Amino acid sequence: MLTLIIGAVAGIIVAAICAVPNGLDWGWGWGILTGMLAVIAVQLGISLLIRRKIKQVNNKIQEVMMEVRHKVELKQQQFMRRPVGSQKMMMDALEKEQNNGILAAVEACDMFEPFFKWNFILKKQTNTMKMAFYYQLKDFEKVDQLLPKCLLMDSQSLAMKLARLYKKKDPSLDKFFTKKCSRAKGENAVLLYSLYAWILVKQDRVADAIKTLVDARKKTDNEIITSNWEHLVNGRVKHFSNSGLGEIWYALNLEEMKAPKVKQQHQMRGFRA
């Protein structure tokens, strides 16, 4: 908004200087044309400058997250070489390291604030980023506070909103999916349709889940969509699973990843007479 105001003021001043007799006296035709060019030039110059500043902040946040990942990997390697305490203690230490880094990234998001008045959607984009970070931290109170102020465009943020509506038993869940999520296509549709079908199964609405997966199959040939559809139409409801989606599914914190079972091999020793 501020960019538009500055551009408009600059355009009026330039037009007046070019048109009035005491100025360049080019006439109002050339004055208005020159003023319009000035508006475009000023807006373009400011936009490029602000975009560069925003990119610098984005890079800073990326650096924070890369540093977190590096620290977690180093600690993992350290624990593998020299285990400390129980496995739970080591997992808690890794989670604490990661959470500290995510909190640092949240704080780094505040560097966007000076540019909110120059870019009217930047505040919503920043809120979306913060919401995703808080979701990782499982701070769902802050997630719920930020969601109404977010710009939900990508499948991951839409899925987070859908998951929160489910957890809060919000009656607007179906309407939200139809309005915001059902337009997704290709790979973008996989997570959203898989999540919605999972929710419908949990609500004992298997027929609706089948219909959802039928619609999904028109948009993507993803194996998980097809597999879950086959399970449901053949009455194998308990075999429905989104585990094949991997990290993007478990990041929604609706299910916990199952630890692989360790098979213990018992050796039978024989005795010869």
Q: Which amino acid is at 114?
A: P
Q: What pLDDT is attached to residue 273?
A: 33
- Asked whether 19 and 47 are in contact (CB, 8 A), the reply is no
| pLDDT tens digits in sequence order for the chain, 273 residues long | 566 666 566 657 766 677 666 666 566 676 677 767 766 776 677 678 778 888 888 888 888 888 888 887 887 788 778 877 777 787 878 888 888 888 999 999 999 998 888 888 899 999 999 999 999 999 999 999 999 999 999 999 999 999 999 999 999 999 999 999 988 999 999 999 999 999 999 999 999 999 999 999 999 999 999 999 999 999 999 999 999 999 999 999 999 877 544 344 333 333 233
SS3 state at 212: helix
pTM across the whole model:
0.78
Q: Write the DSSP assignment of 110-148 as a string of letters.
A: GGGGGGTTT-TTHHHHHHHHHHHHHHHTT-HHHHHHHGG
- Asked whether 122 and 116 are in contact (CB, 8 A), the reply is yes
Q: What are phi and psi of 199, to 5 degrees?
A: -60, -45
Q: How far apart are CA 154 and CA 183, in angstroms?
A: 12
Angle value at C-alpha 203, between 197 and 204, nearest 5 degrees:
90
What is the CB neighbour count within 10 angstroms for residue 27? Answer: 13
* Contacts of residue 197, Cβ cutoff 8 Å, sequence gap at least 6: 209, 212, 213, 216, 228, 240
The two three-digit tokens of residue 239, written as one number: 């075999």
DSSP run (H or E) holding 183: none
Q: How far apart are CA 167 and CA 199, in angstroms?
A: 10
Report the Cα 167 to chain-centroid distance in Å.
18
Q: What pLDDT is attached to residue 261?
A: 46
* Contacts of residue 138, Cβ cutoff 8 Å, sequence gap at least 6: 253
